[in-house]
Amino acid sequence: MDSTSEFGALIIEAGASGDLKKLKEIRRKVNDDFELRRICDVYSDFSAGRNALHHAAHLGHFDVCKFLIQTVHVYIDALTHNMDTPLLEAAKEGHVKIVEYLIRQGAGVREANLEGATALHYAILNGNKELMELVVAKGIRVDSDSRDGTPLQMAAYRGDVGVVKFLLSRDAKPDICFLVPESPLVCAVASRSFECLELLLKAKANPNKYFSGFGPLSYAAREVDTRFLKALLEADADPNEPNIGHVKVIEDAALSNNLKALEILLPVTTVMKHYPEWTVDGVMQYCHSEQAQAEREDDREACLVALHKGAHICIGLKKYNNAILHFKSAHRLDPYDPTWLSNQSLCHARVDRRMLTLHSANECVRLTPRFPSPCPGDAGAATKIINRFFKAGIAFMLEPRDKDKDDKFRVVFYDYFALLYLMSSPEEIASFTIEPSKS
C-alpha cells in the first residue's frame, strides 16, 4: 500500500470514528498541508464514494468537520457516488448544528443528490422542524422534486399537518407534481388527513388538476370517510370528469362498494345513458356486471393504444416531456407492463434528466428484473458502449476542486455503470468483453 492510500484509509477511519487526535497526528506525519488536503479530497470509500468529511458529517462529528474545513481546507461540496454532499449527509441524520456550520462555511444548501433529494426532503422524512426552518431560511427551493415527490407531497402523504402548514406559508405551490404523479390533494386523501386536505384547498389547490392517472375525487370516492368527497365537491371538483381509463367518479365509488359515496355522487353526476337504471342500486349492479367489465376493458385497451400512438408522435416531434406524460398515464392503466417505464427512462435521457432516467429504469427492473438483458460476451453494441465510456472516462483527469471535471467524471463512470448494474447482474457485467470490435 502506498503512503497516499495508507494515509487515506487512516483519514477515512478517523473521520468516521470522530477521532480528532488521530487526524492531527496524520497531519504532522504528512507534514504538507497541500498534500493532506489533496488526500482528504481524493480518497473515499469504494462502496459509496464518501470521503472523511462525508463520514464525519453523517455521523455528527462536529469537531472533525470543523478541523477538516478550517484547518485542512477540504472541498466543502464534494460528492459521493449518489451525489450527496457533506451537508446532505448531515441532513439525513438530522445534525442541525453541522448543517448550519456547513452553510456558514459556504456549502451549497440547494444541492440535490441523484434521487433529487435535498436537505429539506430529509428534514421532512425525519420530522425535523428545526432543520426545515433553517434550510428554508437559507434559500432552499420549497418545490424541488425528487423520487419521493416534492416536500409538500411528502408532507401531505405523511399526513403531517404542521409541515403542510409550514410549507404553504413559505409559498409552496399546492398543485405541483411530476415524478410522483399523485398531487398533494391526492396525497392528503391517501393519508386520510382531512386537515391537510382543508389546508390545501384553502391555499387554492385545484381539485380538478392532476398529473396523470386519477384525480383527487376518484380517490375520495373510494374512501369510507365521505368528508373528503364532500369537501372536494364544495371546492368545485367536477364529478363528470373521467379518469384516464374513461371511468367516472361515480363508477369508482360503485366499484369500491362505497354506498355512501354513491348516494352523494348520484345527484351531481350527469346521467350515463347506457346504464339501464340510474339509481344507487342500478349503478351498483351494472358496474359489477360482466357487460360493464368488458366495456371498461375495451376502453382501457383503446386508451392504451391512443396513449402509445400519442407518445410516439410526441417523440417524433422531440416533445419528450409530453411523451413522458403519455407513458406515465399508460403505466397507471397498465402497471405490469415494463415497456412504459422503459420508454419513460429513454425520454428522460433525451432531455438529460439523469436522476429521472435512473429512477424509471430502476422501477422497470423492480417490475421485471430480467428486462432488458444484455448479451454476455457479445462483441456488438454492449462492447462498443462500454469502450466508449471507458475512453471518455480516461479523457478526464479527476481534479476534486474542479467541479465541472468532477461532475463529468462522475457522469461517465458512476451514472452509466449504476444504470448498467441495475439492468444486469454483476456476473453479466463481468462477462462483457471490452476489446474493440473487429467490425
Residue 37 has pLDDT above 60, yes or no: yes
**Would you state the pLDDT for residue 398?**
46
| Same domain flag for 296 and 355 | yes
| Same domain flag for 44 and 18 | yes
> What's the mean pLDDT in 37-62?
92
| pTM for the predicted model, two decimal places | 0.79
**Would you state the pLDDT for residue 4?**
64
| Same domain flag for 296 and 350 | yes
| Same domain flag for 347 and 392 | no
Provide the b/e sequence for 2-35 (b: ≥16 CB within 10 Å): eeeeebbebbbebbbebbbebbeebbeebeeeee
Can you read off the three cell numbers belonging to residue 196? 391537510
> What's the mean pLDDT in 96-125?
96
Answer with the one of 112, 143, 175 that is the final residue of a domain.
112
Answer with the one of 112, 141, 170 that is the final residue of a domain.
112
User: Is 425 domain-assigned?
Assistant: yes
**C-alpha dihedral sign at 339, 341, 344, 349:** negative
Instruction: Please write down the long-range contacts of 368-375, taking CB distance under 8 Å and 24 or more positions apart.
Output: 368/338, 371/338, 371/342, 372/342, 372/423, 373/423, 373/424, 373/428, 374/423, 374/424, 374/428, 374/432
Give the domain CATH number at 32: 1.25.40.20
| Same domain flag for 11 and 96 | yes
User: Is 41 domain-assigned?
Assistant: yes
pLDDT bucket at 362, cuts 50 / 70 / 90: confident
Q: Distance (Å, rounded) from C-alpha 154 to C-alpha 146?
A: 10
DSSP code of residue 412: I
**Would you state the pLDDT for residue 377?**
43
pLDDT bucket at 431, cuts 50 / 70 / 90: very low
> What's the mean pLDDT in 197-207?
97
| Same domain flag for 79 and 94 | yes
Query: Which burial class, exposed, middle or buried, applies to 305 when counting CB atoms under 10 A from its CB (0-12, 13-18, 19+)?
Result: exposed
| Same domain flag for 25 and 90 | yes
Weakest-pLDDT range from 103-117, 128-142, 316-330, 397-411? 397-411
Instruction: Convert the pLDDT of each residue in 411-428 to its tens digit.
Output: 555 555 554 544 444 444
User: Is 21 domain-assigned?
Assistant: yes
Please say whether the beta carbons of 221 and 252 come within 8 A. Answer: yes
In order of 88, 121, 145, 422, the CA distances from 82 in angstroms are: 11, 15, 16, 14
**Mean pLDDT, the chain, integer:** 85
pLDDT bucket at 142, cuts 50 / 70 / 90: very high
| Same domain flag for 331 and 411 | no
Q: Distance (Å, rounded) from C-alpha 413 to C-alpha 435?
A: 18
User: Is 284 domain-assigned?
Assistant: no
Answer with the one of 372, 403, 421 that is the final residue of a domain.
372
**Would you state the pLDDT for residue 74?**
97
Q: What domain count does the chain have?
A: 3
**Would you state the pLDDT for residue 414?**
53
User: Is 195 domain-assigned?
Assistant: no
Residue 416, domain extent: 374-439
| Same domain flag for 366 and 378 | no
**Would you state the pLDDT for residue 422?**
45
Provide the b/e sequence for 272-299 (b: ≥16 CB within 10 Å): eeebeeeebeebbebbeeeebeeebeeb
**Would you state the pLDDT for residue 439?**
39
How large is the greatest C-alpha to C-alpha distance in the chain, in angstroms?
Answer: 89
pLDDT bucket at 435, cuts 50 / 70 / 90: very low
Weakest-pLDDT range from 56-70, 98-112, 296-310? 296-310
Give the domain CATH number at 348: 1.25.40.10
Residue 56 has pLDDT above 90, yes or no: yes
Q: Distance (Å, rounded) from C-alpha 217 to C-alpha 437?
A: 57
Which amino acid is it at 376? P
| Same domain flag for 378 and 356 | no
84: left (phi over 0), alpha (psi -120 to 50) or beta: beta
Instruction: Convert the pLDDT of each residue in 399-412 to its tens digit.
Output: 445 556 555 555 55
User: Is 118 domain-assigned?
Assistant: no
Please say whether the beta carbons of 94 and 104 come within 8 A. Answer: no
Weakest-pLDDT range from 153-162, 234-243, 430-439? 430-439
> What's the mean pLDDT in 159-188?
93
| Same domain flag for 404 and 303 | no
**Would you state the pLDDT for residue 406?**
57
| Same domain flag for 334 and 384 | no
Other C-beta atoms lying within 10 Å of the C-beta of residue 160: 20
User: Is 177 domain-assigned?
Assistant: no
Please say whether the beta carbons of 122 and 97 come within 8 A. Answer: no
Residue 374 has pLDDT above 50, yes or no: no
Which amino acid is it at 303? C
Q: Distance (Å, rounded) from C-alpha 152 to C-alpha 155?
A: 5
Other C-beta atoms lying within 10 Å of the C-beta of residue 309: 11
**Would you state the pLDDT for residue 409?**
56
Q: Distance (Å, rounded) from C-alpha 359 to C-alpha 192?
A: 27
Q: What are phi and psi of 61, to 5 degrees?
A: -90, 85
Other C-beta atoms lying within 10 Å of the C-beta of residue 192: 14
Q: Distance (Å, rounded) from C-alpha 76 to C-alpha 43?
A: 14
